[in-house]
Amino acid sequence: MEIIELKDRSPIKMWTRGVCVEEKALEQLRNLSSMPFIFKWIAAMPDCHWGMGATVGSVIPTRKAIIPAAVGVDIGCGMVAAKTSLKAEQLPDDLRKIRLEIEAAVPHGRTDNGGANDKGSWSSAKFAPSRLESAWAKLDSAYAELIEQNPGAGLNRANPINHLGTLGTGNHFIEICLDEDDAVWIMLHSGSRGVGNRIGRYFIEKAKEEMERWLIELPDPNLAYLPQGTEAFDQYWTALTWAQAYARTNRQLMLESVIEALENSDLPEFEITSEVVNCHHNYASIENHYGVNIFVTRKGAVRARLGDLGIIPGSMGNRSYIVRGKGNEESFHSCSHGAGRAMSRSAARKRFSVEDHIKATEGVECRKDADVLDETPGAYKPINSVMEAQSDLVDVVHELKQVVCVKG
- Do 179 and 195 meet the contact criterion of CB atoms below 8 Å apart? no
| 330, part of any domain | yes
| CA–CA separation, 230 and 250 (whole Å) | 30
Residues 6+ apart with CB under 8 A from 200: 68, 71, 72, 73, 74, 75, 243
- Tell me the CATH number at 174: 3.90.1860.10
Helix 131-149 and helix 231-263: axis angle, to 10°? 160
**pLDDT of the residue at 116:** 64
Q: Which domain holds residue 175?
A: 79-278+302-342+380-407
| 240, part of any domain | yes
**CA-based nearest residue to 140, from 233, 237, 246, 256:** 246
DSSP summary character for residue 195: H
| 357, part of any domain | no
Q: How many CB atoms lie within 10 A of CB 353?
A: 12
Specify the pairing of strand 42-49 against strand 12-14: parallel
- Domains in the chain, number: 1
| 211, part of any domain | yes
Q: Which residues of 149-188 are buried (b: 16+ CB within 10 A; e: fewer)?
A: ebeebebeebbbbbbbbbbbebbbbbbbbbbeeebbbbbb
| 190, part of any domain | yes
**CA-based nearest residue to 311, from 376, 396, 243:** 396
| 191, part of any domain | yes
Entry pTM = 0.95
Q: pLDDT tens, position by position, for the chain (408 residues)?
A: 999 998 889 999 999 999 999 999 999 999 999 999 999 999 999 999 999 889 999 999 999 999 999 999 999 999 999 999 999 999 999 999 999 999 999 999 877 666 666 788 887 777 788 899 999 999 999 999 999 999 999 999 998 999 999 999 989 999 999 999 999 999 999 999 999 999 999 999 999 999 999 999 999 999 999 999 999 999 999 999 999 999 999 999 999 999 999 998 889 999 999 899 999 999 999 999 999 999 999 999 999 999 999 999 998 888 999 999 999 999 999 999 999 998 889 999 999 999 999 999 999 999 889 988 999 999 999 999 999 999 999 999 999 999 999 987
| CA–CA separation, 365 and 61 (whole Å) | 40
| 367, part of any domain | no
3-state secondary structure (DSSP) of residue 3: strand
The catalytic site residues sit at: 337
Q: Which residues of 70-89 are buried (b: 16+ CB within 10 A; e: fewer)?
A: bbbbbbbbbbbbbbbebeee
| CA–CA separation, 280 and 403 (whole Å) | 24
| 27, part of any domain | no
